[in-house]
Structure 1
Amino acid sequence: MEDSKQKFIPYGRQSIDDADIQVVVDVLKSDYLTTGPAVENFEVKIADYVGAKYAVAFSNGTAALHGACFAAGIGDGDEVITTPMTFAASANCVLYQGGKPVFADIDPETYNIDPNEICKKITAKTKAIIPVDFTGQPADIDEILKIAKKHNLTVIEDAAHAIGATYKGKKIGSIADMTMFSFHPVKHITTGEGGIITTNNRDFYDKLRQFRTHGITRDTSLLNENHGPWYYEMQFLGYNYRMTDIQAALGASQIDKLDQFIERRREIVDQYNKGFSALNELITPHQHPDGSSSWHLYVIQLQRYLLSIDRKQFFEELRKANIGVNVHYIPVHLQPYYQKLGHKKGDYPVAEELYEQIISLPLFPAMTDEDVQYVIDTVKSLVQEHQIK
């Protein structure tokens, strides 16, 4: 099925234009390459966009999640409930603080963490919940917040996939106690590498800002002593997780185009949905009735009993056709490191069964209609060639 004439279509790719390049050049010519005004400007733009009071930028999304776990007071022995159907960072951030990630299985319709499963996992040691907005589809955040309130838990929403998404008319980033967005190049907007936490809680905001800078503060209202204008104090063990002005300037330029990026993603999703509507061999993504996805990923689920080809072969055939498909994700608890921590295959059957059947198709704003149609035609051809009649 290899097509040597077809250009390679990656599953995701940044969209950078001349305006983005110019703002980076402007920073490179300025006095500040890091810890300057571009970072604060970017934080304000993100907070304003999502409707949150505060935003704190970090060097990457994982660092941002680590900061959120610190701000939430997670420490040795504390348990934090999250989903196995995510990238490792959603659970690793708990381990960084000495806590214990506890997984709860997913809803088979939305692929997000199931609130009913969360309830089964709560113990006296539970300190927080980290729901993940998988593929850009908001988790059932109201139900999760109700559970958290009942048990006095903090909700840290991993919205790495979901900037621009809405839940019951509210922008993701304005609802949970803390929300993380990622700016890796395959995400909706990019800073190269980068992440941010939004929050409406001033205490979390102050802790996040200090945590990303070695635990150091110059705020005179917080100092134990004050030797003069140069004086600063390291008040706890923080990290060097700062975002540079170069990254922040790029992000501030990108966010001006975010809505049009999301609009294009939704157009591509509509094309995919129409193109695959007659194929019983595929399950296309469901939209949560209370949420509007920002569509980071478009994940198809193969109905293996209707096909004479397995997922690995299907994947390889698409790659041969220069379609850069991927799989999101290998459930975290199946990773060797997490197996050493006591997790095992069979613990979360819904997530495991889903993993065996899914493939992520290309989805990014610069895809042309011809690119999208080529993906649709290739997938349909594969299904028709291998359908069990």
Structure 2
Amino acid sequence: MNVLLIGGGGREHALAWKLAQSPLLDTLYCAPGNAGIAETAECVSLDVGDHGAVAKFCDEKKIGLVVIGPEAPLVSGLSDDLAAQGLPVFGPSKAASALEGSKGFTKDLCTEFGIPTAAYGRFTDAASAKAYLAGQKLPIVIKADGLAAGKGVVIAERLDEAEAAIDACFDGAFGDAGAEVVVEEFLNGEEASFFALVDGETALPLATAQDHKRVDDGDLGPNTGGMGAYSPAPIMTDALCARTMDEIILPTVAAMKARGTPFKGVLYAGLMIEDGAPKLIEYNVRFGDPEAQPLMMRLKSDLLPVLLATAQGRLNGVTLDWEADAALCVVMAAKGYPGAYDKGTEIRGLERAGADPRTAIFHAGTTRDGSRIFATGGRVLGVTALGEDIATAQTRAYQAVDAIDWPGGFCRRDIGWRALKRGA
């Protein structure tokens, strides 16, 4: 089977790495890909915003499955347009992608169907949002409603910070994503990531994970797209996973089906855990980045038939096998990230760093010029390792990090600290 993978980040490299191991795979194409993905796939120059061009490519290359990695093509309806041509697509429809594309949509769905989440208000003008603030406790969370590349969320400790965040949204700081604002109760507790494959009706839970959003050690500094992750997440006990499925995932799947917009793809629930109870922070409608990297390292099952079964509504009865070992991913980013950062700095030592078979170097923002690798993005590498526990995986991952020669990059040195504190 020929497969087309859409995307070019660390998540897509992890998916490509895993798909390439499938005996069912003939040729893996990736648009646009990156320097790491090019080692296992044929990277192609396709304008994924031109849905007709993507469909034409699929016809010419006899593509048997399209896997859409990032959220933007999903929210724009790429899945719908390809499915209309009879192509199996892993990734939700435009209507179902509203679970990520509109935070207000998800909050309203939670209210309607009794899914536990933070109290909130939705607003289309600054004055109304600020009036709502007057009766709320601090800290409080201000969110641009739409897709803002992980940058549309502010946790405000003071009233003036909250008002400034509201003004920034309505003044165009996040483009169309800030045309509506969600003001949300701040939830205390510990965050965790929960993933489930969904075929419109059946939901199959994946392994648990936990990521680090803040740029600095100790979970300090500004939010980022993610500076590292590990799997499994010790906080997600079997009982807590069961509650998450029963109280959050399954009601959401049923709600989307009842609304006539069934969800097909991977449903990624960002959770806050307090006193053993899960609440939904928000949904993503694709694999997390960097959570996909440790998840793919731990997955023993063939990924390709599982994604195809999801796309075709055949998940009932499917099971997955996972490595007992833990996996941990350290993100190496360009200095300055998540603010302005330099591009074009050279990265050396990648072969040496990835020599251990229990280690994989997943590329995100890279390009190749001959035998040389250069950084092109903010988050550039996901150095991922397996170990019999989180501590061993962490040691192995940082050994690989230290083998990489990249003066233009940096990373956190404490990925996995919450798990280690629990003795995992």
Query: Fold-level match, TM-score > 0.5?
Result: no
**Larger strand proportion of the pair:** 2
**Larger helix proportion of the pair:** 1
Higher RCO (C-alpha under 8 Å, 6+ residues apart): 1
TM-score by length of structure 1 reads: 0.29
